[in-house]
Every structure is written in C-alpha cells, then in structure tokens.
Amino acid sequence: MAAAEPEAPFAYEGLDRIFHEKARLGIVSSLAAHADGLTFSELKGLCGLTDGNLSRHLLVLDEAGYVTIEKGYDGKRPQTRCRLSDDGRERFADYLSVLEQVLRRATRAAARTEDPTRPLRPRPA
C-alpha cells in the first residue's frame, strides 16, 4: 500500500523548478556525469544549446549554488569550466528521486484510463 495521500496529491511540491526546466535538466545531468567538470563548449555540444541560452541557465544554477563556474585559460585561450557543487549534486539526487515518484504516479494515472473496468475515484456529490 502507498503511504497516506497528501492534501494535493498532484501538486508535486518537491519537484525543484531549478532542475526541472528542460535545458537545465540536461546541463545538470551532463555535469553529474563529469566530476571534474566540463568546459562551456563541451556543455554547449552535449546539451545542444546556444551560447546565450547556456549562459542564462548557468547563471540560474550558479545563483542557486548548484554549480561553480571557473574562468581560466587553456594555453592562451580563455576557458570556462563548470562543475556541479556538492550541494547541487545532493539536491539533484533528491530531485531525481522525487521525479521518479512523479513519473510512477503519472504512469499509473495514464494506465487507469486505458482500463475502463477499473473503478475511478468517487467524485464528491
């Protein structure tokens, strides 16, 4: 049996909007896979983002404390390296576990209409 239902079972309170946004979900997943970080160009390629979009989303992640951004040099060329912070990694793991529950609930909901014999939640009079 599932635990007691919250008041608004489809409010998805725990689903952190910072990670949930599609482009940022890609950025953070990429960074999660690379403990020593990725350069701005590598991230652009992995996530299929423009310079402007990637900068904008990195700023949001930086302001939340979820990534660190280091400006340095690769030889003579300026290079920006991005890493997931420890806090970012922990919060991302939390987000993924909430997302898994959300997905499970939605899949169950979607399956319910496909079986019309299964009783629906009674509607208030």
Q: Which residues of the chain form contacts with its own copies (CB under 8 A)? A: 7-13, 15, 17, 20, 22, 25-30, 32-36, 38, 42, 45-49, 84, 89, 92-93, 96, 99-100, 102-103, 105-110, 112-113, 116, 120-121, 123-124
Return the number of the residue (71 or 117) whose C-beta is nearest its own copies.
117
Nearest-approach distance from CB 62 to its own copies, in angstroms: 18
Nearest-approach distance from CB 93 to its own copies, in angstroms: 6
Return the number of the residue (71 or 118) whose C-beta is nearest its own copies.
118
Nearest-approach distance from CB 50 to its own copies, in angstroms: 12
Phi, psi of 78 (to 5 degrees): -65, 140
DSSP 50: -
Count CB neighbours of 16 within 10 A. 17
Nearest-approach distance from CB 92 to its own copies, in angstroms: 6
Q: Each residue of 26-57: b (16+ CB within 10 Å) or e?
A: bbbebbeeeeebbebeebbebbebeeeebeeb
Say how far apart CA 108 and CA 125 lie, in whole Å.
25
